[in-house]
Structure 1
Amino acid sequence: MWKPDRTTKKPLYQQIVDYLERRISYGELPPGSLLPSERKLAEQLGVNRSTIIQAYEELRASGLVESTVGSGTRVSLTKWGIAPKHTPNWRSYTDGGTFLPNLPLMRRIREVLRNGEKLIDLASGELSPDLFPNSIIHTLLQQDPFQEYLGYDDPQGYYPLRSALTSFLLQHHNMNTTESSVLITSGSQQSLYLITQCLLSPGDAVAIEDPSYSYSLPMFQSAGLRIFRLPVYNNGIEPDDIVKLYRQHRIRMIFLNPNYHNPTGTTLDPAKRVQLLDIASKLGIPIVEDDPFSLTSFEGVPPVTLKSMDTDGLVLYIGSLSKIAASGLRIGWMIAPQSVVKRLSDARQQMDFGLSIVSQWLAERLLRSPQFDLHITKLRHALEQKQQLMVNALTDILRDKVTFTPPQGGLNLWCKINLKIDDSKLLEEAIKRGVVFVPGSVYGSEQGYVRLSFAKPHVDEIGAGIAGLAHALKRY
């Protein structure tokens, strides 16, 4: 995000005028584009509102923008009185299309994090930089320089990486698979996107946990799917609920996150797993198992995956390196029947001709490195410590105002605020106090729940973050 330079003699308002003039002249802000409100732009640029008022007055005087009470400030349809050429009505395009935008609260969270404001981030579901395996990667790059072919690779993914994954999944999850059943993706969300776009049709009914991370992804609605809820209890969903949904709506697919569920942190009971697979087999319904967190198990032994129990080819298994190594590597995988892999790899090739060979090459070396198991062990200990710091802070500061059950793995705490609140208003109060979190309504929950991530903030920030949330709640 551009910011005015306070070290120069040029007035701040004039720098803002010049910046907006450039964006208008470059076509980044076509005629009719709505500019941010004075208050919002002042927040983004870190200046007083009076500075923005002065800048907008200058732009209005030059004829570049027009302001209308109740409608805000827009780029003029005519520049300095010159009749415009036929500029496309970009708003009609951006408001159209079949792929829906992110939820407003998610856009707001990403906006404040992207603007570079000094915030304690209890919202992002990713690791803090000190938990990345940087030293291992640095050593790998020194010891084994990249010398691979730089052309288009197999659309199914770099074969050595698929081979490394078969060994990795067998070692950590007792999962038997072959390279031909592995599809490399850019992460779990691309895997889900391919499934919703290629294996399902508009109007199909699917079952999704309630609450669920999937509710924060508009891709399900964009695909025209009918979504039906599976309530999540203390030990996961109730498999019998699937039978009811099937009878009522003929659901065609089940989406589950059974290990350290996002956002609640619950783990599906072992007996329920057996029952779930039996029901899915009898009804012929595939299960999508999203499993990003199981290797974060604080006890060192990850919960059993549905895929490792699957003997009927029911489960499409999704994993990634984002939550256990580094989100920036953009490496995920799907384990599926070969017919499914073939269909999805064909679709993925149409999208991007495959992933970067460099990141796949590096991921393969990382998974095969004897240091990676040590990294996972250190990661578990660090996450457990961070969770305990957050638990202590919540207990000491908010006490009976919040209720939660700490999971034995994952990156998040799911908390119920024991007061009547409005999600969006509480979020805004928290942002003012330098803290950002994810309201529970983003995940389909009723008002009054929040997801607090302990993975991204530094250990020294967790207590301050909870204190900021407490002040926001008190102010609200």
Structure 2
Amino acid sequence: MHFQIDRSLKTPLYKQIAKYIEEEILDGTFPTDKPLPSERTLATELGVNRSTVVTAYDELEAEGLIQRIQGAGTMVTRDIWGMTKKRIPRWNQYIEAGSYLPNTPIAQKIRKHTAEDTLINLASGELSADLFPLNALRNIMATRSFIGHLGYDHPLGNVNLRQTIAKHLTYSRDIETDANHILITSGAQQAIHLIIECLLKQGDSVVIEDPSYHYDLQIFKSAGIQTFFLPAGKDGIDPQGLINLHKRHRIRMIFLNPIFQNPTGTLLSIERRKEILDLSAEYGIPIVEDDPYSLTAFSHEKISTLKSLDMNGNVLYVSSLSKIVASGLRIGWINGPKSVIERISDVKQQVDFGHASYNQWIANDFLESPFFEAHINELRNKLKIRRDHLIYYLNFYLQDKVEFEIPKGGIHLWCKFKEEIDEVKLLEESMKQGVIFVPGSTMGTKKGYIRLTFAREKEENIKEGVYRLSKALGKISKWMG
């Protein structure tokens, strides 16, 4: 065989083998009346594991190019050039050719295992079911009739909900606005994606925090956007670093999560918030403020958002009910200049023709009701209890092995190991022990960190989860030692 594996390529070995065999089939080198080399023979000839050849053959079989016949071996599909000319689409090539990049393998693994609900979940950013205001929502649905219609709604979203959100922003977050400056989205995630797709173009440069939830968003890479990082310390990012990045790269947009940031839980100081707004105005750089957590301050104080301090209209404000009411409602919003909101709305209409009417009705009635404020107060208190449990048992089980800043709100704790540790290997071992978290390397450039979330599990599970984490760390430390 004249084919040789090229181990210097990034292309997996099995894909190289599959591509070679496919080309040989199509030019007639491998006929339909003779078997292909056996898996063991081909593996020996190419100097690879038999499993690599098995995977290559699996891919070719999925594409309809070969078939395995008991007693005859692996054969080229007989009717590949037959009169029917029926072919199975080469789905793997379509999958790989899509312009929208898949999540990273680690992110996919975490989502898969958290969805199975078999592990103690210190990874998910979702509230646990007992933190949802179920009784209040049931009361609303049982006592108030649905007053909307079931056709397509206004392009910006239901007007009643937008008016209610405008009042909510004014009262709860000191943001003066009206319904015409608000677009309803399917959570904050869709809002951020729409902003990127509508307002940026390939080659543009943006700034995100390091670490950051945005660090793991493949939408930036899919859209051809260059991301530059500003370290997020205990007081948030240093505004002077923004000046340096802008001079070198002509920054087009800044993405910030300034209040109880994901994953660090830190609060961007009021001095830095004002300085960043001044720089935004000086250089004409818009800011996207992602604010899921400002209402969760454990002190119950009202914290000034960037948008509430913005006197120049430089901030696009993104928020949702996902982290404070229920993620399944899929209610988020963007607040910004009317022209920008209408531009983004136009694209949203192309994607989904607007948001579900029924969900908007429930969200509107809940926000208008006295249940909402009572729920937020209860949520703050319960999250604080869970945070305190997490801190206590980290200190109890891990003692001097970790360090962290204590978050004053939100749902995340950013944990640093004092000794060098491979957090990905720790994740693998932790899953064997029955607990899952997010490795820090998926959210930033630094190593040796993990994100622990305290919103998804009750107190007793938080205790057990930290215990299992300590067992996994003990095993990893022995291996590394």
What TM-score, normalized to structure 1? 0.84
Aligned to 1:347: 347
What is the letter of the counterpart of residue 106 of structure 1? A
Contact 2:259 2:294 in 1 (8 A): yes
Aligned to 2:73: none
Report whether the alignment pairs 1:101 with 2:106. no
Report whether the alignment pairs 1:217 with 2:199. no
Report whether the alignment pairs 1:360 with 2:356. no
Aligned to 1:286: 286
Pairwise CA distance, 1:158: 0.6
Q: Deviations over 1:318-369 (max 9, x none)?
A: 0000000000000000101000001000000000001100101110001001
How many Å separate the matches in 2 of 1:111 and 1:234?
32
How many Å separate the matches in 2 of 1:161 and 1:203?
36
How many Å separate the matches in 1 of 2:398 and 2:220?
36
Q: What is the correspondence of 1:35-50 to structure 2 with a 5 Å cutoff? A: none
Q: Deviations over 1:290-311 (max 9, x none)?
A: 0000101001013210101111
Q: What is the correspondence of 1:107-126 to structure 2 with a 5 Å cutoff? A: 107-114=108-115, 116=116, 118-126=118-126
What is the letter of the counterpart of residue 433 of structure 2? R
What is the letter of the counterpart of residue 106 of structure 2? L
Aligned to 2:241: 241
Aligned to 1:299: 299
Pairwise CA distance, 1:454: 0.4
What is the letter of the counterpart of residue 311 of structure 2? T
**1:79–1:150: structure 2 CA closer, same or farther, 3 Å change rule?**
farther
The secondary structure found in structure 1 opposite 2:236 is coil
Aligned to 1:91: 92
Q: Deviations over 1:175-223 (max 9, x none)?
A: 1001000000001110110111110000001011111100111111111
Pairwise CA distance, 1:174: 1.0
How many Å separate the matches in 2 of 1:221 and 1:291?
23
Pairwise CA distance, 1:277: 0.7
Q: Deviations over 1:36-87 (max 9, x none)?
A: xxxxxxxxxxxxxxxxxxxxxxxxxxxxxxx953244527333767646311
Comparing 79-88 and 287-296, the one that deviates more = 79-88
Q: What is the correspondence of 1:201-216 to structure 2 with a 5 Å cutoff? A: 201-216=201-216
How many Å separate the matches in 2 of 1:404 and 1:104?
27
Q: 52, 60, 77: which is aligned to 1:70? A: 52
How many Å separate the matches in 2 of 1:315 and 1:72?
54
How many Å separate the matches in 2 of 1:323 and 1:126?
6
Aligned to 1:43: none
The secondary structure found in structure 1 opposite 2:416 is strand
What is the letter of the counterpart of residue 109 of structure 1? I
What is the letter of the counterpart of residue 142 of structure 1? A
How many Å separate the matches in 2 of 1:443 and 1:310?
28
Q: What is the correspondence of 1:253-332 to structure 2 with a 5 Å cutoff? A: 253-332=253-332
How many Å separate the matches in 2 of 1:302 and 1:106?
33
Pairwise CA distance, 1:423: 2.3
What is the letter of the counterpart of residue 286 of structure 1? P
Q: Deviations over 1:401-436 (max 9, x none)?
A: 110111100001000012222222111000000000
Coordinate RMSD, CA, aligned: 1.4
How many Å separate the matches in 2 of 1:120 and 1:82?
51
The secondary structure found in structure 2 opposite 1:307 is helix
What is the letter of the counterpart of residue 359 of structure 1? N
Contact 2:114 2:124 in 1 (8 A): no
Q: Deviations over 1:201-252 (max 9, x none)?
A: 0000101111110011111111101111111111011111111111111001
How many Å separate the matches in 1 of 2:150 and 2:166?
24
Q: What are the ranges of 5 or more consecutive residues in structure 1 without an aligned counterpart?
A: 1-31, 33-66
How many Å separate the matches in 1 of 2:53 and 2:460?
44
The secondary structure found in structure 1 opposite 2:464 is helix
Report whether the alignment pairs 1:394 with 2:394. yes
Q: What are the ranges of 5 or more consecutive residues in structure 2 without an aligned counterpart?
A: 1-17, 19-48, 70-76, 81-85, 477-481
Aligned to 2:177: 177
What is the letter of the counterpart of residue 111 of structure 2? R
What TM-score, normalized to structure 2? 0.83
How many Å separate the matches in 1 of 2:338 and 2:366?
26
Aligned to 2:158: 158
How many Å separate the matches in 2 of 1:389 and 1:127?
16
What is the letter of the counterpart of residue 428 of structure 1? E
Pairwise CA distance, 1:269: 0.7
How many Å separate the matches in 2 of 1:153 and 1:263?
35
How many Å separate the matches in 2 of 1:438 and 1:83?
49
What is the letter of the counterpart of residue 340 of structure 2? V
Contact 1:439 1:449 in 2 (8 A): yes
Pairwise CA distance, 1:273: 1.2
How many Å separate the matches in 1 of 2:353 and 2:121?
35
The secondary structure found in structure 2 opposite 1:267 is coil
Pairwise CA distance, 1:113: 2.1
Report whether the alignment pairs 1:444 with 2:418. no
Aligned to 1:434: 434
Contact 1:159 1:179 in 2 (8 A): yes
What is the letter of the counterpart of residue 378 of structure 1? E
Contact 1:329 1:359 in 2 (8 A): yes
Contact 1:296 1:302 in 2 (8 A): no
How many Å separate the matches in 2 of 1:100 and 1:406?
35
Aligned to 2:21: none
Identical-pair percentage: 46
How many Å separate the matches in 1 of 2:455 and 2:408?
14
Contact 1:173 1:305 in 2 (8 A): yes
Q: Deviations over 1:160-180 (max 9, x none)?
A: 000000111111111100100
What is the letter of the counterpart of residue 265 of structure 2? G
The secondary structure found in structure 2 opposite 1:385 is helix
How many Å separate the matches in 2 of 1:141 and 1:72?
55
What is the letter of the counterpart of residue 86 of structure 1? R
Contact 2:234 2:405 in 1 (8 A): no
Pairwise CA distance, 1:117: 5.2
How many Å separate the matches in 2 of 1:342 and 1:118?
43
How many Å separate the matches in 1 of 2:187 and 2:51?
45
How many Å separate the matches in 1 of 2:444 and 2:53?
31
Report whether the alignment pairs 1:148 with 2:148. yes
How many Å separate the matches in 2 of 1:316 and 1:461?
38
Pairwise CA distance, 1:147: 3.9
How many Å separate the matches in 2 of 1:420 and 1:207?
28
What is the letter of the counterpart of residue 78 of structure 1? Q
